[in-house]
Amino acid sequence: MLQSHEAAGELEQRLVECAVRAERRGNALFFHDRPPTRAECSEVVEQDACGKPVTRAMQLGRRKHVLALECAREVLEALWPAPFSIEQRYRYYPHAKVVETISREKEARLIAEDCTGELRGTIKPDLVLHADRNLLKAALILDFKFPCPETNQAEWTKYGRNSVYFGQKQGDLYREALDGRALMISPREGVVSP
């Protein structure tokens, strides 16, 4: 684990820099280095495999996440001596307080076979920093947030009616399931505590 507040501050600062770079590069692809407007963020640009609309904000968010996570891997490899997980999917049983990992292979197979119903009730934080070799516990859980437009505030997703976690906020669920502190990283706001 990081030995000092100074080292922890450097880790957070470098991850925020990852978010800022991802924000800039993502915007540069479509908007020539300017941020998208509220109308552009709301624009429906495609439909997903199930026929649901995908907005520009969703599309940009996915691309920016890829860029931020590439950068975060480099930062964590340099500054986090313990294991860490990137986009690890977990199945959480809240009544039993049990969590288990789902392999990337199984996740990919279920998605490819259009069996995503079997992933219902799972969680997938962007980054989980472990304090030791126990990959089912977190020292810190981090999620990148790219509000669109950028004047929106970063916030945890609130699970909707179709979720087994209806009404709960993503960060609260991450803390409960993985027994660690959950923070958001936003290009404009930096590291945001709940």
Structure confidence by residue, pLDDT tens digits, 152-161: 999 999 999 9
pTM comes to: 0.89
Q: Is 187 in contact with 164 (CB distance < 8 Å)?
A: no
| Residues of the chain with confidence (pLDDT) below 70 | 1-7, 115-116
Domain boundaries along the sequence of the chain? 5-192
DSSP reduced 3-state for 155:
coil
pLDDT confidence of residue 3: 46
Beta strands in the chain, from DSSP E residues, in sequence order: 44-47, 53-55, 84-86, 89-93, 98-102, 122-123, 127-129, 140-144, 181-186, 190-192
Which residues, including other chains, have CB under 8 Å from residue 12's CB and lie 6 or more apart?
Answer: 185, 190, 191
- Is the alpha carbon torsion for 184, 144, 186, 48 positive or negative? negative
Helix axes 5-31, 56-79, angle to 10 degrees: 150
pLDDT confidence of residue 1: 40
pLDDT confidence of residue 57: 95
pLDDT confidence of residue 121: 85
pLDDT confidence of residue 6: 61
